[in-house]
Amino acid sequence: MNAVAEIDTVLDPDALLMRLHEIEASFGRERATRWAPRTLDLDLLDLGGMVLPDVAIQSAWRALPPEQQSRQAPDDLILPHPRLQDRAFVLVPLVEIDPDWVHPGLMLTARQLLDRLPEAEKAPICPISPPWTGLSALVKFFQTQ
């Protein structure tokens, strides 16, 4: 299951990422191997349109081929998330809550980014109703069939 949530925070990017990692750990996540199976994976996609650590590094990581990304890990937090624009499982729910969100490096909306992906990548992603109630309308849950 994948979800995108929009939140308000006063935390700076590093503190927010640390808090997300604490939440993952409380669900049993261990960070032993990059891209290993995990109980919970919380990614920080964007924070107020910041580009971190700078435009050149964010652009370089965004352009890095997936096979290199799996072998290398950045030393610093990279915002927006460097693979956000390549992942239908991120963009489909993002478009549901904020289709006009603009990628600060590519200057394209979430809708435009999603439209650039092949239909075959988008087709298996469908909304689901979570088994609990009371969640904000800003959280949308999706599964890949």
Select which of 14, 31, 34, 41 is catalytic.
Answer: 41
Instruction: Establish whether 46 is a catalytic residue.
Output: no
Q: Per the structure, how many domains does the chain have?
A: 1
- The answer to whether 118 and 131 are in contact (CB under 8 A) is no
Select which of 38, 83, 98, 111 is catalytic.
Answer: 38
Q: How many other C-beta atoms lie within 10 A of the C-beta of residue 29?
A: 18
| pLDDT of residue 137 exceeding 60 | no
Select which of 12, 14, 31, 43 is catalytic.
Answer: 43
Domain CATH number, residue 130: 3.30.70.560
Instruction: Establish whether 43 is a catalytic residue.
Output: yes
- The pLDDT confidence band at residue 28, using thresholds 50, 70 and 90, is confident
| pLDDT of residue 118 exceeding 70 | yes
Q: How far apart are CA 90 and CA 95, in angstroms?
A: 9
| pLDDT of residue 136 exceeding 60 | no
Q: Which domain does 136 fall in, by range?
A: 2-144
Instruction: Establish whether 41 is a catalytic residue.
Output: yes
> Of 13-27, 36-50, 131-145, which has the strongest mean pLDDT?
13-27
Instruction: Establish whether 29 is a catalytic residue.
Output: yes
